[in-house]
Amino acid sequence: MSLLDQFFVYHPDPWKDQDWKARSGLPLEDVWFTAADGTKLFGWYVENRATAAMILWCHGNAGNIINRLENLRELYRLGLSVFLFDYRGYGRSQGRPSEEGLYQDSFGAHDYLTRTRMIRPERIVLFGRSLGAAVAGELAAQKPAAGLILESAFPSIEAVAKFHYGGLPVHWLLGADFKLIDRLPQLSLPKLIIHGDKDDIIPLELGRQVFEAAVPPKFFYVIEGADHNNTYQVGGAAYFRRWAEFIQAVLQS
């Protein structure tokens, strides 16, 4: 792992102690669990109802789970249960982030749902946003699930670096690869790929590359006017309706 990864790839925020359950109005359940390599991690488990789809959420490279509360509230309103966790080094989770470490974290989260909560994989839909899309893609290659939602995804760190630095091979200085594009041809589960057409961090062109690399069944949903961080806000009711349609379809298949 390159030391530069800690400056360019991972941007975790420390935890802030507040009564997040009261502030959010959600039935947040604090969960401590372990990554596949034993690292101690923290997350929030939000159960809507016992029969609801369970969203296993791999978030992006910045902040921590606190920053996802507004989005989490909308998913709960949609009737979904959610397990949202922090990677190592983020929020209350221990350790230091790395590519392999984040994969290990996601494996541990999946194990927590299936082994501790006894949730069947047929009820689990994996959701990854931005960097988390690469994590969710690796998770889908290693663990069973009903479907996969990738939002603001990129093919690889190399592709992102070349976009931002005029084609220069800046990625050579980084240890992280996050080659989602190598995983996609292996994934036969249904995939919904979402991207904002005004994204200036991960441009729509890179999102299209992700979609083109995926094998069917796959669906591409472009949100007009959305940038990298406001897809669900700009997308509004139509965005969540597309979520609901996809999830209903994969749970019935």
Element (H, E) at 45: strand 40-46
Is 130 tagged catalytic?
yes
Is 188 tagged catalytic?
no
- Picking from 143, 144, 126, 140, the residue whose alpha carbon sits closest to that of residue 53 is 126
pLDDT digits (tens, 9 = 90+) for 128-144: 999 999 999 999 999 99
The active-site residue, picked from 130, 152, 171, 195, is 130
Which CATH number does the domain housing residue 247 bear? 3.40.50.1820
Domain count, the chain: 1
Is 195 tagged catalytic?
no
Query: Residue 226's domain spans which residues?
Result: 5-252
Which residues partner with 150 through β-bridges?
A: 128, 193
pLDDT digits (tens, 9 = 90+) for 140-179: 999 999 999 999 999 998 888 888 765 444 544 555 689 9
pTM confidence score: 0.95
The active-site residue, picked from 110, 171, 195, 228, is 228
